[in-house]
């Protein structure tokens, strides 16, 4: 059911039609805003690259690159081969006394 509002010029405007038009404008506006943001980002990146080239700055010079983490050796192992480093949440397979699952420094616990 459409609700109509009488305008001063005696034209009927459907509230639903008006709402649809506003929603369409909002979608267009948001799409345009995203486009502007993407263009701005491109300009900034291009400017930074140009500046770096002019001054001989390499990406490596900036530092802050994510360092690779060392793989932590397993500290516990069960008879099936499940392993746990001892970090984070204790796995469900490890029941009872943890020392039963300790891996010997020289080798295996089996």
- Residues 50, 18: one domain? yes
Rounded-to-10 torsion of CA 86, 87, 89, 93:
-30
Residues 53, 57, 63, CA angle at the centre, nearest 5°? 140
Whether residues 57 and 75 share a domain: the answer is no
CB-based contacts of 62, cutoff 8 Å, min separation 6: none
Name the nearest CA neighbour of 75 among 89, 85, 64. Answer: 85
Which token pair is 45?
A: 């990146």
Domains contained in the chain, number: 2
pLDDT in tens, the chain (110 residues): 555 555 544 455 678 888 899 999 999 999 999 999 999 999 999 999 999 999 999 888 888 766 677 888 999 999 999 999 999 999 999 988 889 999 986 544 55
Whether residues 11 and 58 share a domain: the answer is: yes
Same domain, 12 and 35: yes
Residues 50 and 79 placed together within one structural domain of the fold = no
Domain that residue 42 falls in: 4-62
Question: Are 87 and 40 part of one and the same domain?
Answer: no
Asked whether residue 55 falls in the same domain as residue 9, the answer is yes
């Amino acid at each position: 059911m459409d609700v109509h509002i009488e305008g001063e010029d005696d034209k009927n405007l459907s509230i639903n039609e008006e709402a649809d038009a506003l929603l369409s404008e909002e979608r267009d506006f948001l799409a345009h805003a995203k486009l502007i943001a993407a263009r701005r980002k491109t300009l900034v990146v291009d400017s930074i690259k140009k500046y770096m080239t002019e001054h001989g700055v390499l990406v490596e010079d900036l530092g802050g690159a994510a360092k690779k983490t060392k793989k932590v050796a397993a500290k516990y192992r069960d008879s099936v081969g499940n392993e746990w480093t001892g970090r984070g949440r204790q796995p469900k397979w490890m029941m009872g006394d943890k020392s039963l699952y300790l891996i010997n420094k020289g080798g295996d616990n089996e």
